[in-house]
Structure 1
Amino acid sequence: MLPGPGELLHFSEDPSIEHFVPHVAATSLQPEAYVWTVDALNSPCYWFPRQCPRVCSWDGATGSGRVHAVEAAWLESMRATTLWAYRFDATDFAPFGERPHAHVATHAVSPLGPPAEVGDLVDLHARHGIELLVLDELEPYFTGVRDRGLEFSGIRMGNAGIGPGGPFPTRR
């Protein structure tokens, strides 16, 4: 599920949002209120349950060679989660940051239409040629991605080691 020309996407597990109002996300490092969206390069980083920790990496020069990694405890949640994509007119948003990973609006916005169901999240990765690694732990892999100098996004890493049902049993 990628945006069309002139569009940006917002992914949600809630299919009933009619208007998006700027807010300060609980995980935000910025004090400003925004509505967040992503472009085609960054959309695949959001093909996961919201709370799922993941590491996404790709070749910065070409945007190719994407590899996404999740912890094994989240795989069943990926298969069971229904995710929705809301489409927005890109002219309502501005790139966020020096190397934009998202686009933001500081005013309320409405989607271009009803949300589209994204479908099977594991299959979506395969259909787009994205390797999906299922690992026992994300942190060692994340360290390796950073050390190799790849473009990357580590999302919800504060939830690493915590499955959908709570903390993992103590590892040996």
Structure 2
Amino acid sequence: MKLYHFSDNPDIQRFEPRMIYEETEAKVWAIDEFHAPHYFFPRECPRVCVWPEEYTTEADLNLFFCMSTTQRIIAIESAWYDQVSNGHIYRYSFNPDDFVLHEPNAGYYISSVSVVPSNVERIDDLIGSITDLGIEFRVTPSLKPLKDLVLKSSLNYSMIRLRNAVM
């Protein structure tokens, strides 16, 4: 298993546990390999990621995937396209022994102690890195219609930074 953290900072030597939102315990956050492409974006970029699971209905497969052979779609808003297409991100790798599973659906792992990354690599072609994995990349003026449809569907999803979306 591979675990990652994505940042626009190229020089993080040690990840210290920190509190987010109203958490009671500070944590270092990491993401698993399957969910990692959901983070091939500038940090504040809103996006909707969808993929089927065993309980996904045929109707939802037809609605979302009828024109594609992919099993995953990531959509962003057109206002973010230039930042994504011209951007880069740093992918930090971790030893998975330092983490425990926190949220399986999202692929989140946590550590309550400081963690030193085993590697850092710069990813320059964010869109190419997504599409090279067979993930369909969509651009739309607003994520709201997609968000509304996904929330009523049987698909598995991740919606990230929607507070920055055109709603």
Q: Does 1:59 align with 2:52?
A: yes
Structure 1: where are the runs of 5+ without partners?
1-5, 163-172
- Which whole-Å CA distance do the structure 1 matches of 2:71 and 2:128 have between them? 17
Partner of 1:23: 18
Report the aligned-residue RMSD. 1.8
Report the count of equivalent residues: 153
User: Taking CA–CA contacts closer than 8 Å with sequence separation of 6 or more, which of the two structures ends up with the larger relative contact order?
Assistant: 2
- Which whole-Å CA distance do the structure 2 matches of 1:161 and 1:106 have between them? 35
Partner of 1:137: 142
Which segments of structure 1 move beyond 4 Å, counting only runs of 4 or more? none
- Which whole-Å CA distance do the structure 2 matches of 1:29 and 1:98 have between them? 21
Q: Kindly provide the amino acid, as one letter, of the partner of residue 11 in structure 1.
A: F
Partner of 2:125: 120
Partner of 1:3: none
Partner of 1:91: 97
- Which whole-Å CA distance do the structure 1 matches of 2:131 and 2:164 have between them? 24
- Which whole-Å CA distance do the structure 2 matches of 1:17 and 1:42 have between them? 21
In structure 2, the residue corresponding to 1:60 is in which secondary structure? coil
Q: 2:32 aligns with which of 27, 30, 39?
A: 39
Looking at secondary structure, tell me which structure has more helix per residue.
2
- Which whole-Å CA distance do the structure 2 matches of 1:98 and 1:117 have between them? 26
- Which whole-Å CA distance do the structure 2 matches of 1:53 and 1:152 have between them? 13
Q: CA deviation at 1:90?
A: 0.3
Q: CA deviation at 1:29?
A: 5.2
Identical-residue share of aligned pairs (%): 33
- When normalised by structure 2's length, the TM-score is 0.85
Q: CA deviation at 1:7?
A: 2.5
Q: 1:44 to 1:17 in 2, by over 3 A?
A: same
Partner of 1:147: 152
Q: CA deviation at 1:101?
A: 2.6
Q: Deviations over 1:29-77 (max 9, x none)?
A: 5332111111112101101110000000101239x61000100000100
Partner of 2:79: 73
- Which whole-Å CA distance do the structure 2 matches of 1:99 and 1:38 have between them? 11
Partner of 1:11: 6
Q: 1:76 to 1:7 in 2, by over 3 A?
A: same
- When normalised by structure 1's length, the TM-score is 0.83
- Which whole-Å CA distance do the structure 1 matches of 2:24 and 2:124 have between them? 33
